[in-house]
Chains A and B, each alone.
Chain A
């Protein structure tokens, strides 16, 4: 079952320089459970999509369904099961962290114990009574995450949750997201930290110019359109190349390794050919692209898929 369904979502803004299309016909389906990464370069429409999902922005066209409810009409029916952060944390600076959380918690009848638990979970238990204006950006981000977790949500929507966090904080957020997924929740996270997404997410969608250019399980997105490949390292590269070519295996030298155009399941064949030639492997692994490479390939040098109308 899809926990988020977006069909033909379109959002145009009118500005001084005419109309600008932020989202140009986005289709997206996020299944229940796991961590779903929502990637895209700046201005690709990630935050606008999240705002449409949370009823903060009215789409120009298309529909958004979240937990089965229409985001524009019935969001109130399911909002109690959605925890979210939209962009940077928006909190009252002259109130304490605890007060900020408890004021909003009261809307859903959430008591002080849950507030304490959320604060402890994001590591702010000891600073909970300090004014937010004295918090660092990372602490504010943690507080916002705590706010998102207050409702014991089935779906957690996080917009750039690692913003402002130090490396240790980033690791904590990563573990937190995985932990939430293990608890059976769905985490929908937008981020530009591609290595984080690759380590954390089960599925991803890549957004470019307001449209999803790739979507699916991370390994499928990584291998999409690239064909099967393995990387082989041996002591003598030319001899290795000769042996592989003589055995009819398509191969090419790339840097200090040989790239072999075979499925990883064909690895025994490669090892046998090289061993027969008296060459012993120092490394043999699938040649997966990292998310950054795929992301750049998918989002760079594409023809504009949506129009920016200047009126």
Chain B
């Protein structure tokens, strides 16, 4: 089994789509690091002064406006501050925001990893080497899930690494202690886990739809349209939706329908059900 998983990993990383997205992500990381470094600076006083000047200007314009009947209120310039420094302790939020992109990317790569096998009919070639379809499906799920998990972790590490110079030389590392490190790593792990589950869901849809585009259409159609409709029509069912549980997992809050663990468990159950159903369909299907 480990041999076919290794082969599937090699097939995954040999794919052009994976390489292209990998390069784009590297470019994005580099760009994010450079832009943050350029935009971040430690002259808090000047930034505050500029912000106050801008606010005063806006307030004056408001008072001079003859059509403004509601008034412009009192302006307390001492309440206005600006901090142009990049805060390393804000990395957690950066990872949280990036998670959404990683999940979407994982979903797409998972769907196309399996969908392309059908498109090029290489599934037939593969099954003439390993006819046990359950093993093939399991290997594909393991490979795509593992590859996406570790790739996302690696990109998050690179992203963090690319932002560190901005914090050290032109921003602040205040608050970046051991506790922060553990918490940030936890968020990175959650993002990687969610992206991994997204890739397995994509792969499951690829097995059923036998086409990358159809699989992606189903996934995004459900997440963007189906779940939104349920949210509006039956708010009580929100706690059972993939999107809301994913948010509960990655960004737990009082408003979230479940705890982080509960959200992760629900998403994992959905992914497991999809994987089992996909394996069953794949196992019974004729490759004509």
Residues of chain A within 8 A (CB-CB) of B16 are 94
- Interchain CB contact under 8 A, B130 and A57: no
* Cα-based distance from A174 to B127 in the complex (angstroms): 26
Report the interface size class on chain B: 20 to 34
Instruction: Return B284 CB to nearest CB of chain A, in Å.
Output: 7
- Interchain CB contact under 8 A, B288 and A51: yes
* Cα-based distance from A55 to B284 in the complex (angstroms): 11
Is A219 an interface position by the 8 A CB rule? no
* Cα-based distance from A90 to B127 in the complex (angstroms): 12
* Cα-based distance from A94 to B131 in the complex (angstroms): 24
Is B121 an interface position by the 8 A CB rule? yes
- Interchain CB contact under 8 A, A107 and B125: no
- Interchain CB contact under 8 A, A13 and B132: no
| Complex partner residue of B124 from A13, A86, A92, A93, CB under 8 angstroms | A86
Known: A106-B6, A147-B125. A58 touches B284 (CB 8 A): yes
* Cα-based distance from A294 to B121 in the complex (angstroms): 35
| Complex partner residue of B288 from A48, A54, A76, A84, CB under 8 angstroms | A48
* Cα-based distance from A84 to B287 in the complex (angstroms): 15
Known: A56-B127, A76-B130, A104-B126. A90 touches B7 (CB 8 A): no
- Chain A, range 44-66, C-beta contacts under 8 Å to B: 48, 51, 54-58
Known: A56-B287, A57-B288, A103-B11. A108 touches B124 (CB 8 A): no
Report the interface size class on chain A: 20 to 34
Instruction: Return B133 CB to nearest CB of chain A, in Å.
Output: 9
* Cα-based distance from A56 to B129 in the complex (angstroms): 11
Q: B109-133 toward A: CB 8 Å interface, digit per residue (1/0)?
A: 0000000100011111111111110
Instruction: Return A88 CB to nearest CB of chain B, in Å.
Output: 8
Instruction: Return B100 CB to nearest CB of chain A, in Å.
Output: 29
Known: A13-B288, A106-B6. A54 touches B131 (CB 8 A): yes
- Interchain CB contact under 8 A, A75 and B131: yes
Is B67 an interface position by the 8 A CB rule? no
- Interchain CB contact under 8 A, B10 and A106: yes
Known: A56-B124, A56-B127, A106-B3. A76 touches B132 (CB 8 A): yes
Instruction: Return A13 CB to nearest CB of chain B, in Å.
Output: 7
Q: A87-100 toward B: CB 8 Å interface, digit per residue (1/0)?
A: 00011111100010
Is A82 an interface position by the 8 A CB rule? yes
Instruction: Return A79 CB to nearest CB of chain B, in Å.
Output: 5
Is B4 an interface position by the 8 A CB rule? yes
- Chain A, range 82-139, C-beta contacts under 8 Å to B: 82, 84, 86, 90-95, 99, 103-104, 106-109
- Interchain CB contact under 8 A, A107 and B129: yes
Residues of chain B within 8 A (CB-CB) of A90 are 120-125
Is B177 an interface position by the 8 A CB rule? no
Of listed A75, A82, A90, residue having the most chain B CB within 10 A: A90
- Interchain CB contact under 8 A, B129 and A108: yes
Is B65 an interface position by the 8 A CB rule? no
Instruction: Return B22 CB to nearest CB of chain A, in Å.
Output: 15
Known: A57-B287, A99-B14, A147-B125. A107 touches B4 (CB 8 A): yes
- Chain B, range 1-28, C-beta contacts under 8 Å to A: 3-4, 6-7, 10-11, 14-16
* Cα-based distance from A93 to B120 in the complex (angstroms): 8
Closest to A79 in B: B131
- Chain A, range 5-35, C-beta contacts under 8 Å to B: 13
Instruction: Return A124 CB to nearest CB of chain B, in Å.
Output: 16
- Interchain CB contact under 8 A, B3 and A109: yes
Residues of chain B within 8 A (CB-CB) of A58 are 284, 286
- Chain B, range 253-288, C-beta contacts under 8 Å to A: 284, 286-288
- Interchain CB contact under 8 A, A79 and B128: yes
| Complex partner residue of B122 from A54, A91, A109, CB under 8 angstroms | A91
Known: A84-B128, A94-B16. A103 touches B10 (CB 8 A): yes
Closest to B19 in A: A94
Q: A65-76 toward B: CB 8 Å interface, digit per residue (1/0)?
A: 000000000011
Residues of chain B within 8 A (CB-CB) of A147 are 125
* Cα-based distance from A82 to B129 in the complex (angstroms): 9
- Chain B, range 93-151, C-beta contacts under 8 Å to A: 116, 120-132
Known: A57-B286, A86-B124. A79 touches B14 (CB 8 A): no
Instruction: Return B125 CB to nearest CB of chain A, in Å.
Output: 5
* Cα-based distance from A84 to B121 in the complex (angstroms): 14
Residues of chain B within 8 A (CB-CB) of A95 are 14
* Cα-based distance from A306 to B10 in the complex (angstroms): 46
* Cα-based distance from A92 to B123 in the complex (angstroms): 10
Closest to A80 in B: B129
Instruction: Return B174 CB to nearest CB of chain A, in Å.
Output: 48
* Cα-based distance from A75 to B128 in the complex (angstroms): 10
Residues of chain A within 8 A (CB-CB) of B126 are 104
- Interchain CB contact under 8 A, B128 and A82: yes
Instruction: Return A33 CB to nearest CB of chain B, in Å.
Output: 22
Residues of chain B within 8 A (CB-CB) of A86 are 124, 128
| Complex partner residue of A92 from B120, B284, B287, CB under 8 angstroms | B120
Q: A55-B127, A58-B284 are in contact. List 5 more A-B contacts (CB 8 A).
A: A57-B286, A57-B288, A76-B132, A93-B120, A109-B3
- The 6 listed contacts between A and B (C-beta, < 8 Å) are A13-B288, A86-B124, A90-B125, A92-B120, A103-B7, A104-B126
Which residues of B come within 8 Å of A, CB atoms?
3-4, 6-7, 10-11, 14-16, 116, 120-132, 284, 286-288
Closest 9 CB pairs of A and B: A90-B121, A56-B287, A55-B131, A75-B131, A57-B286, A94-B16, A107-B129, A106-B7, A90-B125
